[in-house]
Structure formats: structure tokens, C-alpha cells
Structure 1
Amino acid sequence: MQQEIRANNKTVSYYLDTLGRVTLRRATGEADSTYLYDNVAYGYGQMYQESNGSLTRTTSFNSLGQPLTTTETLGGDSHSVTQLYDANYGRVLGELLIQPKDGR
């Protein structure tokens, strides 16, 4: 665990896994933030999910380990952003935003 105490007496603690990656962030007066790694296809040790109270962000990866789709869920609403890559060099071409059917 690593810890910092800020000037306003707010304590922020970071809990690490055996590879030194932050798995939990706990701060005075805030919801805990959790970070998950490795348990996703083609993730190659990358963080695939972060969660903080009612917000969850989940990422999937393509066979080259590049971020493919990131879905953010807040309460019951969610939206996704998909990265588009070129076939030759894997360069980012753009992003595709997928919104819920009700347009929120």
C-alpha cells in the first residue's frame, strides 16, 4: 500500500498487486475506485475495467492488444465508443460512438 496525506488532511491510499499496478484507490470522503487487469481476451496485462461508485468503464481489446470498445455505465445508462484502426499499420482512423436507443 502507498499512502499520501494532502494539505487538507485528505488521505489517499493506493493498494497494489504483485506487479505494482493500482487495484484499489481509497480516499477520505470519496467512493473507492477499483481497477481490474488481465482477465480479458487480448488484454496483455492492461487494465480492462475501472469502477468508482456508480460509474463503471470496461474496455475490450482486438487481437493486437489495442483498445477496441470502451463502455461507460453510469446508473442504468451506458454508451460505448469503438476505436477504428487501419488494416495496414494499426493506426487509429477514428472513433464510433454508440448511444442508447433513447438518445441520452
Structure 2
Amino acid sequence: MGISNDFLIACVIRLFNKHESMIWFNKLYDVLGATISSRNTLSHNIDKLFDLGIITGDWTKSENGNWIRSFKTSSEAERLIDRIIETYDVIVNFDTQPESVQFQRDA
């Protein structure tokens, strides 16, 4: 049994939060573009994570002055997502631009 796209997205958001970096839709798609088939799929996955209470979002201004919705892991889901990160060895490489993600599809 492998990690779902929903939980992979939640893991990436959590890792960005731990790194104290903002993550928003376009940046998330840049990081996961090779894994997620389309922006539409990513949007549906994000909606599901909001509906389940796994992530939250705040509207903030980006460095260039545009309004973006920055994603965060809800406090109730942090332990669950941390456990999934550990189980599937999800890693975000913050040294590359755009950042890249590595994980084991099956654990």
C-alpha cells in the first residue's frame, strides 16, 4: 500500500511549515509537478485536505505584493502527518530551485 497524493501533498506542506517557508498553490505545483498529473488534480486534492481539516489556509501578501493563500498543517493533524513523513521517508530538498521532493511510493 502506497502513499496517496492527498497525504503526499499534506507531507510537503508540513515540511515547508517545519522549515518556516511559505507554501502556496503554484509553489506546491512546482514542487510536485512530476508527481501530480495536473493543476486540476492538485486543486481537488487540496480541497479534500481542507474538507478533512488536515490543512488550513491564510491569505497573505507575497514578497512581490500579490495575495496568495498560504497553506499550513492543522495542529490536530501534525502528529499524523509527521508519522506519514517518517514512514514514507518524504524529504523536500530546499537547496534546489524549485524545491524538489523525494519519497518512497510504498513503505
Question: TM class, shorter-chain normalised?
Answer: under 0.3
From the CA coordinates, give the structure whose radius of gyration is larger.
Answer: 1
Structure with greater strand share of residues: 1
Bigger RCO of structures 1 and 2 (CA < 8 A, at least 6 apart)? 2
TM-score between both structures, scaled by the size of structure 2: 0.24
TM-score between both structures, scaled by the size of structure 1: 0.24
Structure with greater helix share of residues: 2
